[in-house]
Homo-oligomer: A and B are copies of this chain.
Amino acid sequence: MSRVTLPHDAKAGPTKPEVRAVTLEKLDLRPTDHFVDVGSCTGSVSIEAAQRVKRVTAVERKAKRLEVARKNLAANEYDADVALHEAEAPAGLPDDADAMFIGGSRNFEAVLDHAVESEIDRVVMNVSRVEPTGAAIEAFRERDLLDEVVQMQVSHGYELAGATSFKSNNPVYIIVGRRDAGGLN
C-alpha cells in the first residue's frame, strides 16, 4: 500500500489527509468489501479504499469532478475493481455495497434510506457545517444507524521567526453509522 497521489484537483478540494485517515479507520474496510463513495469529488477516498477492498463504486453528479477522480485513480496503484458513475445519489448507488462514505450533505436522507434498504453494514459521513451536522446525526439516529460522532480539529505547524506556529483547519464532524447500531453511549 502506497500513499495516495492526487495530481488533479477539483474546486471543492479533497478530504484532507488527516480527516481521510480517520474516516478510513472508521469505515473499517475489509478485503472482500464493496465500497461506495457518494460524492466522490477528487476521488481521494475512493483511491485509498481501492487499495484495501475488492470493489469500489464512486458516484458523482458533476462530470468534471468525475473526470478528475478518473485521472487521480489512474495515477495510483490499486487492485480493486473500480466503477465511476455520473449520477446524483441516491441514483447510481449499488444495492450490494458493504460500506459507504458520504462526503457531503446533498440528499443525505435519501442516501441513508438507500443505505438502510440495501442493508449496508457501515456508513461514514463527513460534515463541516453545523446545521446539516445536527440534521445528519438525527437522520442516522432515526434510522438506527448512529454509532459514533467525532469532531476533529487539525492544525498544521509552520515556521514563524524560528519556531512553530499553527494554522488550523476548520473542525470537521465524522458521523459513523453501523447497521442496527445502538446509538451513542
Contact = CB atoms under 8 A, between A and B. Distances in A.
Interface string A13-25: 0000110111011
A47 to B, nearest CB: 13
By secondary structure, the A interface counts as mixed
Count of identical protomers in the assembly: 4
Contacts of A135: 131, 134
A168 B161 CA distance: 22
A169 interface: yes
Given A2-B30, A18-B152, 20 more contacts: A3-B28, A18-B22, A22-B22, A129-B160, A130-B130, A130-B137, A130-B149, A130-B163, A130-B165, A131-B163, A137-B164, A148-B156, A150-B156, A152-B153, A152-B154, A153-B155, A153-B168, A155-B171, A158-B185, A159-B183
